Amino acid sequence: MFSTLDTLGFELPYYGFMVGLGILACFLLIKFVTMKKRDHIEGIEYVCIGLAGGIGAFIMAHIVYAIAQFDKLVYVLTHLDRVFSSLQMFMAYMIDVFGGMVFYGGLIGACIGAFIYMKVAKLDVRSYADTLAPCIPLFHAFGRIGCFLAGCCYGIESNFGFTYRHSLIVNANGVNRLPIQLFESVDNVLICLVLLAILCKCSNLKKGTLIWIYGLIYPVIRFINEFFRGDITERGYFGPLSTSQWISIFLFVISAVALIVEYSRKPKQNTAVNKEVA
């Protein structure tokens, strides 16, 4: 569709523009949730958590992309003499292997980065995780719109859809494609609303479990949506399933186990010790 947005004499990538809007939307959502929960939490803490999560997301999104390009990664590791033959050659191989990003890698990296910061800062990880959980699908919804506009993460050939002409990914151009990015964007908005409803309406929700509820819902949607993705060469496959489908299965199982363990625990009871006075 479109690669850049021309504004005020600058060319801004549509994906970056949508990511910026997603970050803004997340901070507004956090403000709404904290007011609803009557949490008196300093906004600077969420900024720091966001920065730590963003750094982790950036690193892991590229690493998982490289793993998805397994054949290319193996070639680089087994031909180091060619890779390091010149700076230009090195940069070309790095861009080819690590140049893309995978959402699941970003999600895992963001969780690791945010968790490390919260532990170091001695914050209540469970409480913050509940507040931040609805932000994940909201941010993802904006990101998928950016993908649609940029022409990446495109869908299969379809009679219903859009034809890319100027996507930087050559394989996306020239044929009518299903706008799977927009479908997933809508799915993520619905997930966000479901998580918000649970957070605000369910009084018996255990602290720290909302993130696991997300881990049950999104992987199912992602697993199904993967069958309608057309960027086969970019995603990577292990056996009959894509990299993201395997991660979806893993995340779903981990989330289910975490919820079962959490809700099977008996609530702690304060026992009063009565002392008899002789």
What is the Cα–Cα distance from 35 to 38, expressed in whole angstroms? 5
Q: Is the pLDDT of residue 141 over 60?
A: yes
Taking residue 53's Cβ as centre, other Cβ atoms within 10 Å add up to 25
Phi, psi of 7 (to 5 degrees): -145, 130
Tell me: pLDDT of 267 over 70: no
Going from the C-alpha of 104 to that of each of 6, 59, 80, 251, the distances in angstroms are: 30, 12, 28, 10
- pLDDT for the residue numbered 273: 44
* Among 191, 92, 91, residue whose Cα is nearest residue 140: 191
Segments in the chain forming alpha helices (H) = 14-37, 43-68, 70-78, 80-83, 87-98, 103-120, 125-132, 135-150, 180-201, 210-225, 232-235, 243-264
CB contact at 8 A, 229 and 155: yes
Confidence of residue 15 (pLDDT cuts 50, 70, 90): confident
The one-character DSSP state at 168 is S
SS (H, E, C) 12-70: EEHHHHHHHHHHHHHHHHHHHHHHHHCCCCCHHHHHHHHHHHHHHHHHHHHHHHHHHCH
Instruction: Check residue 274 and give its pLDDT.
Output: 46
179-208, pLDDT tens digit by residue? 999 999 999 999 999 999 998 888 788 888
Choice between 47 and 112, residue whose per-residue pLDDT is larger? 112
pLDDT tens figures, 114-128: 999 999 999 888 888
User: Would you place residue 4 in the very low, low, confident or very high pLDDT band (cuts 50, 70, 90)?
Assistant: low
* pTM summary value: 0.84
Q: Which long-range contacts (CB under 8 A, 24 or more apart) does 241-249 make?
A: 243/64, 243/67, 243/68, 243/102, 243/104, 244/102, 244/103, 244/104, 247/104, 247/219, 248/104, 248/219, 248/220, 248/222, 248/223, 249/219, 249/223
User: Which pLDDT score is estimated for 67?
Assistant: 84
Q: Please tell me the distance from the alpha carbon of residue 53 to that of residue 93, in angstroms, as a whole number.
A: 27
> 70-79, 220-229, 264-273: which range is least confident on average?
264-273
Task: Band the pLDDT of 172: cuts 50, 70, 90.
Answer: confident
Percent pLDDT > 70 in the chain is 88
